Structure 1
Amino acid sequence: MSDAPMDEYRELFENAPCGYLTIGPDGRISKVNATLAAWTGFAPDQFIGRRLHQFLNMAGRIYYETHIAPLLRMQGFFSEFALDFETAAGERLPVIANAAERRDGGGDVLFTALVVIKAADRRRYERQLVDSRSELQKGLASERETAELREQFIAVLGHDLRNPLAAISAGARILQRSGTLHGHKELRVLDMINTTVTRMSDLIDNVLDFARGRLGGGITLSRDAGRPLEPVLEQVVDELRTASPQRVIETSFEITDPVDCDRTRIGQLASNLIGNALTHGAPDKPVRVEAKTEGGEFKLRVANAGEPIPAAAMEKLFEPFFRGDIRGSRQGLGLGLHIASQIAQAHGGRIDVTSEPDETRFVFTMPLTST
């Protein structure tokens, strides 16, 4: 190819009237055009090596992770989805997005191409909402925070958390067309459906608990010291092993005394801590889970190898929606550790964290009996 056609190609790519970016097989952005960089206010090199969801607002992250990403993995493309980018100035950039995977002859993903077009009508609508909200805030300043949280909560439940159902429906249609569940492709789709359902459940639980806490309900407990806790922890570990079959989870349980706790909530806490370890731990090293009763206390330890948590991130680790501009997170909404800390506090306990070069450890400690 001569230089002139190549220059024309570069000009078309960089200055097209729509945004272009490509995502490598590792899920990280490998190329972005000047148009999208100008729209967002980020320099092109600020995109490279980062993940797409890091440039979306919170609602966009929920939508992308629970619906768009699973659908893209199942069928290799998606079309005309509404997303909201967050610009360098912190403003919302509504777009319509289309994407398609490019694969080699062996079926492996080479890259994913994504095209975005500005959604001007939606921007005007949102500007009208902002103007209306500003007028309301003048007379409702004392109730502003509660009202905004309630509106955000209702919006998430009413729209974004229903979107994963579309992924389930798409998977079911694929299975129906195949006519069998014995092939590799069909089993892969079924695994994707099960994983999506699990993530939906976790997201809904965490968002509901967060909303209850912020709107005054708090974490509710149903304590029962008469039922064993160990089977609940074993079930949590089994579910996570099924969801991450390539990972090793080692367990050691010595729960010899009754624990006056909400077994379901402790299971949720354990799931969030172990899920966090699987996400951030070294993939070739096991996650170790220990639980025992000693000295009038119940202790749950979850440890993983991998890079230590930076000191700056430790300060915000249990804050809601903290996902890690400081420490890049790969999935989730940043609510898991926050909800775990709230469950610990509701039980009169605490979660301590230590992070060294060879190991990161979360330790949940609570008294065996409530006071």
Structure 2
Amino acid sequence: MTLDTSELLDLFDNAPCGYVSALPDGRISRVNQTFADWMAVPREELSHRRFQDLLNIAGRIYYETHFAPLLRMQGFFQEVALDLVKGDGRSFPVLVNAVERRDDAGGVRFIRITVFNATDRRKYEAELLQARRTAEQASLELQELNRTLATRVAEAVEERMAAESALRQAQKMEAVGQLTGGIAHDFNNMLAVVLSGLNLLEKRLSRGETDVQSYVDAARDAANRASKLTQRLLAFSRQQPLSPQPLNANRMVSEMSEILRRTLGETIQLETVLAGGLWRTKADANQLENAIINLAVNARDAMPDGGRLTIETANCHLDDTYAAQHAVSPGQYVMVAVTDTGAGMSSDILAKAFEPFFTTKGVGKGTGLGLSQVFGFVKQSDGHIKIYSELGHGTTVKIYLPRLYGEADVPERATRRDAIVSSRGETVLLVEDDLRVLDLTRQTLLELGYSVLTASNGADALEVLRNHPRVHLLFTDVVMPDMNGRQLAKKAQEAQPGLKILYTTGYTRNAIVHNGILDADVAFLPKPSTMEEMAAKIREVLD
């Protein structure tokens, strides 16, 4: 099919793009109607004008310096974004393609320029550019927000932590106030008994009266209660020196049964449920015995009209979930449980059960340190303690102590000896920096029949050893200035190999106790001690 001339002209004039023919020097020879309409200029007025003269100033300069040379060099360029200036002065964005038409000899016959309306494209590009700028700005704002948010969060966290720290400090001070108030109250009562007894003793003796034993007994009883109070405080604070050893809980409970029955009285029925194949544990036997007695006495007091008390042992496993919830290490434990059929405890009472000096007993019937002492001992032994209670049904306290692995033998527990075993002619070197304690301890040792040498510090003690090589026992305080008891003992044994050592102190620190456990080679007598306790411990060390 062939098109006639009129049809070709119609296609040319009404094409959706502008067609421009230009001579080799750039002057326009012909344009189609579409281009003329875009320019809003009659077609004849566009003739003989250069295409680049129709551009805005920036486009004209860019065309002359870049695209005209490019066209001469390679014969074409494509999709160059330019802005034409319409007859009314408005800008008209276009995309321009240009190509040179040459004759057979290679000479340029004319230049064919195709122009596309880029109004929509330019609009989209502008919108895209604006969107990109908006996105970049939003990104910057987001980054700034994140930075300031992090700062605000950090400041808020810091404020929260400061507030929590202040609250903890306030709670700590409240607890310290409650603790010191309870200590002051109990100690003042005990000291009142001691001082009153001593004053009355002095008055009676000055008048030649000899009926004073009741005052001596009262003062001794108050002093013993004060000693037990300090031991309970050390237990609660996990500062008491423990001497753990392999232990069979079944054997311990069985051996305690008779003394527990006497302690509980006839109205309390005691039952023991001992597990077969019970694992061994490692704990301070005396402290565990005290813990069981404490729990048993509490249970008795919860059953004033009588009832049943059950002591049970079992092998237990605390899984990861339970351990995470109760701040205890997961694993295998030996459990000792004490259960009563008493009144039980409310949730409010239960929440305070381990607090020091908290008691539900009447005035003068309890210090409020029993459960806190048990709690401290169990925690210091790397164990766990849990109370289950229901009003009107009773209470169960479960102690969990870590299972002991290995083949270590369970030692036989020494039976208590009430009779004082005196000296067999041995010499004791007594070292104590408190002169009153030194003098009274010396007199006690003399009363027990020992020969006694004294020193008030480590240096003097070593000098005494050099002058008296026949010393059988070094009985030394632990906490002393310049040279502590552990350091003194080491130097003394270097000077006199085989010398027996017995330590004593009211507070052990780290010289002979590490992680709350007495060192394996340490013989220790806590302050204060009775004459009977001192006599028994000295014979234990010497024999």
The bucket for the TM-score relative to the shorter chain is: 0.3 to 0.5
- Structure-2-length-normalised TM-score: 0.31
Higher normalized contact order (CA 8 Å, seq sep 6+, divided by chain length) = 1
- Structure-1-length-normalised TM-score: 0.43
Bigger Rg over Cα = 2
